[in-house]
Amino acid sequence: MLEDDTWRFIARLPVEVANIAYLVSFFGHLLLIGTPKHGEPSNAYKMDLNKRVWTKVHVRCTYRILWSY
């Protein structure tokens, strides 16, 4: 989080995320999409920046991304 021109630590990544595919901020929240290991299906997490707690977001299997590069 950027505060007064200084980056500040707000939370650790969820344990199930080692490889981040996307991280985006929106309306006081962060949305994170990542995988536990290379080649595994992705998971999604949302964080309310006021509470600073990650919440796992249910993603239907048809929308999960399997990275194969």
Percentage with pLDDT > 70 across the chain: 86
Q: What pLDDT does residue 20 have?
A: 86
Q: Is the pLDDT of residue 4 over 90?
A: no
pLDDT at residue 65 greater than cutoff 80 = no
Domain limits of the chain?
A: 2-63
- The closest alpha carbon to 53, from 26, 22, 37, 30, belongs to 30
The whole-model pTM stands at 0.76
By the 10 Å C-beta count (0-12 exposed, 13-18 middle, 19+ buried), 35 is classed as buried
Which phi and psi angles does 67 have, rounded to 5°? -80, 130
Note the pLDDT tens digit of each residue in 18-45. Answer: 888 889 999 999 999 988 888 788 889 9
pLDDT for res 69: 43
